[in-house]
């Protein structure tokens, strides 16, 4: 004699159990996504930091380069102006106007600060924002004759 084993359907409880487990998995996934969002600190990626560093170096290189042997570089021009007029306030204003025009042409959408550290003791000659309030600051430095220039970009 063979015994036949029969399974009795309990009704809809199997279906409800399936729905209940799917909802539990969905809640766990939502909790993991929320946790992942909390871990994102919103800081810039490393590639963005490198890009800003390259920008500051490139702009300072443009300022240090002359187009041909007859032209002077921007750094040479502002150093000459400052030296010729003994670093006077009017010479600083003239240099500042040149620098603002230059930076408006080459640094669109980027904040900057251009400082002379040697002769003018840290005088900011041109700026578009406050470099002390930035948390992602890159700097490029060039020395020309007795002048030491720093370009901060953020």
Rounded to an integer, what distance in angstroms lies between the CA atom of residue 88 and that of residue 150?
A: 20
Q: pLDDT tens, 103-128? A: 999 988 889 999 999 999 999 999 99
Reading the block at residue 85, the tokens are 């007029």
At 45 the pLDDT is 58
Q: Tell me, what's the pLDDT at 132?
A: 87
Within 10 A of 31 (CB to CB), how many other CB atoms are there?
A: 10
Give the containing element (helix H, strand E) for 13: helix 13-39
pLDDT at 5: 57
């Amino acid at each position: 004699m063979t015994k036949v084993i029969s399974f009795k359907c309990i009704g809809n409880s199997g279906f409800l159990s399936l729905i209940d487990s799917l909802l539990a998995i969905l809640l766990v996934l939502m909790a993991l996504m929320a946790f992942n969002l909390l871990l994102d600190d919103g800081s810039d990626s490393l590639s963005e930091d490198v890009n800003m560093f390259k920008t500051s170096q490139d702009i300072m290189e443009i300022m240090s380069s002359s187009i041909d042997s007859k032209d002077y570089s921007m750094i040479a021009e502002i150093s000459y102006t400052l030296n010729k007029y003994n670093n006077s306030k009017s010479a600083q204003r003239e240099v500042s106007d040149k620098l603002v025009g230059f930076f408006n042409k080459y640094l669109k959408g980027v904040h900057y600060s251009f400082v002379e550290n040697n002769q003018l003791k840290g005088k900011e000659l041109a700026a578009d924002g406050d470099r002390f309030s930035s948390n992602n600051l890159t700097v490029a430095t060039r020395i020309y004759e007795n002048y030491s220039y720093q370009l901060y970009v953020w």
